[in-house]
Structure 1
């Protein structure tokens, strides 16, 4: 009778788990154990083999040190680049740049589940005092630009000063930048959203790049340096990142492009005469000799004066289900008269952001950035030094009011009086 081979079926550990072959002769040698790792003691190696082992070990160690060193350098560079970004924002940005965006998204979602925004409650004392402070901080004439009619609050009864416009910045005695505060909805009454209005005829708008976003070399600096601050009225943040594709669009400035300008993308478009338009690239605006800057981000939230039908689509305005999260958000729009509406809020969904911009008068409006590290709107007061006006945050997030006086890591918009 033919005997089975002494080699275990499947080899290695699996053969040992099955035990010896009962059909094998009793005097047959037990199956030889196969090593999972072909490694022998030093005493069993020839001098040539020993030398090869030393070289392999040193090579493996060198590769390991190189990998750890490269990783450490990369993270270290992210933690020390210029700018006012927080450590958390820097690490999250580094992770997204290294294809770890899904991990960051999951961590953000988990953090939101563990610490959701408060429902109900009252505004903190500081926020309530800010809402009440409607008296002009700077002298104005109101000869050409009146204060806007109060905005209807979203929560009844209204708090003192809620929805009432006040002067944020003036040019030539006119209230070119006005702002107001409202609570974002009837559930999140301990949070504020801030709304700014900017005259489209009395202001000049400039797009600035950031050091890291979109990066590259542009003729416009990633800051507002001394010597270029006279007449500065306001600044606001850019949108989702261009470099990782999050914005689903591109960035163009003075002949240089980062990413790719996409037809259908919501776009801020800046013109040689200092004006700005907001709409759909390829439909409302296109590249002409007068265009000096384009900043694209996702798609319009408000179009033709109405909130878009798919505003509740989960992944359209952020990763996974972030469109329905009540988080810090920002957006910008334009009125039928060509004036600009800008909104920053502490607890907004995609829908509530869009509804705020629409209610403030925007006929077309787009999202900008979200989460605590990025939304911002600053107004500037030249009373003490016209060449170096004092910045003030419309709402307090992570970055200081001087954010754009320093090297900005991300792109932004600066507004000057004409």
Structure 2
């Protein structure tokens, strides 16, 4: 097949380059060469029998990272333990460093706008983790999307814990009176045809304020279901952590069947693992639970890129994402931001990403990364995505900057 050899070689090189460097330090030369040879043969053999599917995975539309495409293709073709082993090996030789301070200190969020009265009041400043003294600007909320009726989105940055003090985690706070949530299907997860597109299209770009990935893949890893507009491609699981979007655009999080459930007001449901925060307390199994609770990549105690989402007692929504996080420290950040019910979303640097926009009534609004050096850039969600994701839009189109704009496309279930 034309181009297959070069595509596989390039993708394999990209996937293993960092791991190979780590293996050189961890194992003698002969041993790591033997390991990589076995891995390479396995991928090539499976690839030869599934050549077309590999090409499709590497060339599908969108800006999904090559490494992520390869990893997902491998898991879909019986190489899940191998992919997980590679990830665990890479983590062992490249663990996040401890100590130190963030280079340049706490950054000033990009795209800060003027504070505006109205809406919900700003949340309290986030305390630094583990009793540390705050760095200048740490935990201080900044308005990044302002409207004539109040601040729709605020952002801040904190260190993840008292040990990994040179890393930074981003936090977004959204006012439910000014924004409405949307669950976008992906072309692969869950796949199929839906009234909501697998991207933030030109119409929604006029009012969109934030976007972030939805969670683990649905093929068993999330241990949960998916629901949209009366259709359930993956059955909803009792007790699973669930992000629920109502037809009025408001959002809630809770254990399915206990704190949240199906009703005529429900538009979308995305489940992932088990609740991380409940009644304002971090799940006590955050450090001891297994893969079913917290995922199989590396492990719940590993300090890696993670993201999470939750709701406060007043209904405001909070997104947390960044590096050097364990399940427990991720939950603690949600709790400190006032979240009373929350859930883990993703644990992979190829997918953990938070983006916010300055809606101006026109397509392609100015876009900003919540945390620097995210593998998924600011334009990812404006292109077709293989994975499902969430976006939040201004409820009132006149709140966008500039001249009057047409009303946003309203999904059929809204």
Note the 1:8-407 alignment, pairs <5 A. Answer: 70-125=49-104, 128=105, 131-133=106-108, 137-154=112-129, 156-242=132-218, 244-312=219-287, 313-315=289-291, 316-319=293-296, 322-383=299-360, 386-395=362-371, 396-407=373-384
Deviation at 1:187, TM superposition (A): 1.0
Q: Deviations over 1:232-277 (max 9, x none)?
A: 11111111111x2100011111122222100100000111111111
Gaps of 5+ in 2: 1-44, 396-414
Q: Is the Cα–Cα contact under 8 Å of residues 357 and 365 in structure 1 kept in the other structure?
A: yes
Distance 1:282 1:68, change over 3 A: closer
Aligned partners of 1:381 and 1:97: how far apart in 2?
38
Q: How many equivalent residue pairs?
A: 348
Deviation at 1:120, TM superposition (A): 1.2
Distance 1:227 1:320, change over 3 A: closer
Secondary structure at 2:242's aligned position in 1? Answer: strand
Q: Is the Cα–Cα contact under 8 Å of residues 168 and 178 in structure 1 kept in the other structure?
A: yes
Aligned partners of 2:233 and 2:362: how far apart in 1?
34
Distance 1:170 1:320, change over 3 A: closer
Deviation at 1:148, TM superposition (A): 2.7
Aligned partners of 1:195 and 1:88: how far apart in 2?
26
Aligned partners of 1:135 and 1:251: how far apart in 2?
34
Q: Is the Cα–Cα contact under 8 Å of residues 171 and 319 in structure 2 kept in the other structure?
A: yes
Secondary structure at 2:294's aligned position in 1? Answer: coil
Aligned partners of 1:213 and 1:412: how far apart in 2?
10
Question: Residue 16 of structure 1 aligns with which residue?
Answer: none
Secondary structure at 1:248's aligned position in 2? Answer: coil
Q: Is the Cα–Cα contact under 8 Å of residues 147 and 165 in structure 1 kept in the other structure?
A: yes
C-alpha root-mean-square deviation of aligned residues, in Å?
2.0
Deviation at 1:341, TM superposition (A): 1.2
Deviation at 1:386, TM superposition (A): 4.0
Q: Is the Cα–Cα contact under 8 Å of residues 279 and 364 in structure 1 kept in the other structure?
A: yes
Aligned partners of 2:172 and 2:275: how far apart in 1?
19
Distance 1:328 1:134, change over 3 A: closer
Q: Is the Cα–Cα contact under 8 Å of residues 91 and 298 in structure 2 kept in the other structure?
A: no
Bigger shift: residues 360-369 or 136-145? 136-145
Q: Is the Cα–Cα contact under 8 Å of residues 136 and 166 in structure 1 kept in the other structure?
A: no
Distance 1:68 1:203, change over 3 A: closer
TM-score when normalising by structure 2: 0.80
Greater radius of gyration (CA): 1
Secondary structure at 1:370's aligned position in 2? Answer: coil
TM-score when normalising by structure 1: 0.79
Q: Is the Cα–Cα contact under 8 Å of residues 328 and 347 in structure 1 kept in the other structure?
A: yes
